[in-house]
Structure 1
């Protein structure tokens, strides 16, 4: 199958991400095949360098989940850059399910992802899982901004 039949890198990344969270560990090699050996990854909770560290980060994340579901809502791709907005439902092994909305910024070189920065509101995701806390969280943010 040619690359054009598989779709753009963004389309392949979106499908691989959704498959990873649905199928877990067996889907990890296909997901990681989209990344460069020297991937630089960062989100609000952590930063890792290199494919081995990124693979381990994903293994730990998958192991901590009772259920994970993600949907990529919108995507914009242009030469060497990809931006994707997404919504994730994450049910940890212990605790309530969290809903996170975020954006991923990816940089591409020679057809592989070399940089990924995920942006999401951790506190808002936690607040959404606790009855009544979400309204309080929004009220606090309204006063601060």
Structure 2
């Protein structure tokens, strides 16, 4: 992709290809091939944390890669409008002695005028997806969520 062209953001096809290579079923995940698409002032936020700056973002990605025994991502849908991309996914993670666990979510990528990702917001219910895999905890957690949040 040539920066400075009429549409400088990544295409849906490019995003699907790049993000699918990020996560693999065997071995450690790696993000190094997508880091060049992030702006130095990237703001990343998910259910757990808010990270500001590319150095901090790279550190967070490397920490996750180090902790994961394996990690894979299946992208279901991608929608692009102007400088915003939304994608829906299933990420399956394995940590140390724990079995593979799927987490379902979505990601919003916001691009600046140069075609770099200036903001990434990941949406997912980490604890719900984890607790759903634990037979004794699942019903208690779901009753709690329904009672207090709807």
Q: So what's the TM-score if we normalise by structure 1?
A: 0.83
Deviations 1:94-124 (CA, angstroms, capped at 9, x unpaired): 3233221111111101211110010100111
Partner of 1:95: 98
Partner of 2:6: none
Q: How many Å separate the matches in 1 of 2:40 and 2:11?
A: 17
4+ long deviations beyond 4 Å: none
1:115 aligns with 2:122: no
Partner of 2:41: 38
Deviations 1:57-111 (CA, angstroms, capped at 9, x unpaired): 1111011111111111111101011111111111111323322111111110121
Q: How many Å separate the matches in 2 of 1:50 and 1:2?
A: 24
Partner of 2:89: 86
Normalized per residue, the structure richer in strand is 1
- From 15, 18, 22, the equivalent of 1:16 is 18
Normalized per residue, the structure richer in helix is 1
Q: How many Å separate the matches in 1 of 2:137 and 2:20?
A: 29
Gaps of 5+ in 1: none
SS in 2 for 1:140: helix
1:138 aligns with 2:142: yes
SS in 2 for 1:33: helix
- From 38, 46, 53, the equivalent of 1:50 is 53
Do the aligned residues in 2 keep the contact of 1:21 with 1:62 (CA within 8 Å)? no
1:71 aligns with 2:74: yes
- CA-based RMSD: 2.3
Q: How many Å separate the matches in 2 of 1:97 and 1:138?
A: 21
Higher relative contact order (CA 8 A, sep 6+): 2
Q: How many Å separate the matches in 2 of 1:10 and 1:94?
A: 35
